[in-house]
Amino acid sequence: MNKKKPSTTTEPRKRGRRPVASVSAPQRRAFTAIRNHLAHRGFPPTVQELGELLGLGTSSAHELVNQLVRKGYLRRDAGKARSLEIARQLEPEVADLVPVPIVGVVAGGRPIYAVENFVGEMLVEARLVGAARCFALEVSGDSMVGAGIDSGDYVVVRQQQVAENGDIVVAVLGEDATVKRLYIADERIELRPENPRHHPIVVGPDDGLRIQGKVIGVRKLAEVRSRLRDGETTRGA
């Protein structure tokens, strides 16, 4: 009696869908709403309350919760109405970045944003820059420490020739550039520091004040992500 040999072939395993690790914008909004509710109220929202917070129907909110549970960001007890818990935090959302030129030392009265002054570039959030023409400038000195601008920081500057009272600006007097707060009252114009150890600069009609731009952001040295070419990247404040 011949024994039937077992088959050496195996059926291919059926591949299921790979779990999706990324979080969509609606899921992120739902997670943030739940986290904020926990932080401010001390307990999680019900699914119905979550839908009201998001402007969604209960079924849509329920599906978002299910998705976040499957991805491991939330835990819940199916038998309780307020059982949602944070299982793990969302990864930080990566911002779109755009390059902004870094300006070096300005010499001979050339505009601060002249091509020959560029020494490299740094990456800045696109939402900060928008469609404006911007540049970055390294600050040297402690005249603006009260505004959170320390020596060695980089200021992100929106290029413009006019500014309003109270704006922090990059201004040029003669051949010297400076970062100060603009003060305008009647016919008096001052460039004011944010450090009591420094005195305001009173601007006269013959001083040739030129506004080169408005400071719209500050980046600490440790935060700067840039590729620098050889060259000096400092500028006095």
- Residues marked as catalytic: 143, 180
Which residues have CB under 8 Å from 216's CB, separation 6+?
A: 128, 134, 156, 157, 158
Longest dimension (CA), the chain: 117
Residues 81-96 as b/e (b if ≥16 CB within 10 A, e otherwise) read eeebebeeeeeeeeee
Counting every residue written for the chain, the total comes to: 237
Instruction: Find residue 171's DSSP bridge partners.
Output: 178, 211
Residue identified by tokens 């998705």 is: 67
Query: In this structure, are residues 214 and 160 in contact, taking their beta carbons and an 8 Å threshold?
Result: yes
Dihedral angle sign, alpha carbons of residues 138, 143, 149, 152 = positive
